[in-house]
Amino acid sequence: MWAGHLGAALALKRADRELDLGWLFLGAQLQDVILWVLVLAGVEHVTIPADYATRHYLHFDFPYSHSLPASVVLALLTAMVTLLVARRRADGRRRWRAAGLLAAAVFSHFVLDVIVHPAEPLPDGNSTIGMGLWDAMPLAIAIELALTFGGLALWRRGASRNGCGGIRGVIVLVVVVAALTVTGMTVAPAPSSVRAVAVTSLISALAASAIAASSIGRLGRG
């Protein structure tokens, strides 16, 4: 899932005019950013299954970036860092609101991933939590697109009410991400290597956040 995470961030942006959309995008993708860094470092593992061409999803061994305890700790850490960083820039109420929204963006990643990822077996005989919606791919795509464009519609209504510019830029970014996500879930061939997926996914997640945080994101405040 990629576009759906941005949809959650866009929906959360509606609750705070000041908070930069780029930070919310980064928060909603933080667990994937950590995953791909850990995969490149050889700490977490991703495999390309033999039946990728029919199933269109990878298998993950990602206890440090994606488990429930890791998600809770990451969300709390995000809130703490936000409170510290914003100490001099915002009053108490705005700081707490930003901290809560960024923590919610981080934790939303876990919730959405649980819906689509299959439960992965663990060495101790247990398995990760996962409802496996990717095994019903048309439904998974419909839900991800609903999330993405539902979030975009919510954000857009707030942005136009406040007379913001830059709306078109955010819409183009989200449409491109949604198109790439659906392509990956349907017709894209198996990736050439795990390293290639890790590098591409890491750059894509950071680029989407940076674009939203740039002039497009700033103009999109509202």
Q: Does 32 bind Zn ion (CB under 5 A)?
A: yes
45, containing H or E segment: strand 45-47
- Which lies closer to Zn ion via its Cβ, residue 171 or residue 180? 180
Cβ 2 to Zn ion shortest distance, Å: 9
Spell out the residues 6+ positions from residue 157 whose beta carbon is closer than 8 angstroms to its own.
14
166 and 215 Cβ atoms separated by less than 8 Å: yes
- Which lies closer to Zn ion via its Cβ, residue 86 or residue 128? 128
Q: How many residues bind Zn ion (CB under 5 A)?
A: 2
Q: Which stretch binds Zn ion (CB under 5 A): 11-19, 95-103, 112-120, 185-193?
A: 112-120
Q: Which stretch binds Zn ion (CB under 5 A): 91-99, 108-116, 129-137, 204-212?
A: 108-116
- Which lies closer to Zn ion via its Cβ, residue 28 or residue 212? 28
Question: Tell me, what DSSP letter sits at residue 88?
Answer: T
DSSP secondary structure letters along 114-150: HHHSBPPB-TTS-B---B-GGGGHHHHHHHHHHHHHH
Nearest C-alpha neighbor of 18 from the set 79, 112, 98, 75: 98
Question: Tell me, what DSSP letter sits at residue 100?
Answer: H
Q: Does 113 bind Zn ion (CB under 5 A)?
A: yes
Question: What distance, in Å, lies between the first and last C-alpha atoms of the chain?
Answer: 26
Cβ 110 to Zn ion shortest distance, Å: 8
120 and 114 Cβ atoms separated by less than 8 Å: no
Q: Which stretch binds Zn ion (CB under 5 A): 107-115, 124-132, 157-165, 193-201?
A: 107-115
Q: Which stretch binds Zn ion (CB under 5 A): 26-34, 74-82, 165-173, 197-205?
A: 26-34
Binding to Zn ion by CB under 5 A, coded x per residue (else -) over 116-135, reads: --------------------
Q: Which stretch binds Zn ion (CB under 5 A): 31-39, 136-144, 165-173, 198-206?
A: 31-39
Q: Does 44 bind Zn ion (CB under 5 A)?
A: no
- Which lies closer to Zn ion via its Cβ, residue 65 or residue 166? 65
- Which lies closer to Zn ion via its Cβ, residue 86 or residue 177? 177
Nearest C-alpha neighbor of 201 from the set 104, 91, 65, 94: 65
Spell out the residues 6+ positions from residue 146 whose beta carbon is closer than 8 angstroms to its own.
none
Residues that bind Zn ion (CB under 5 A): 32, 113
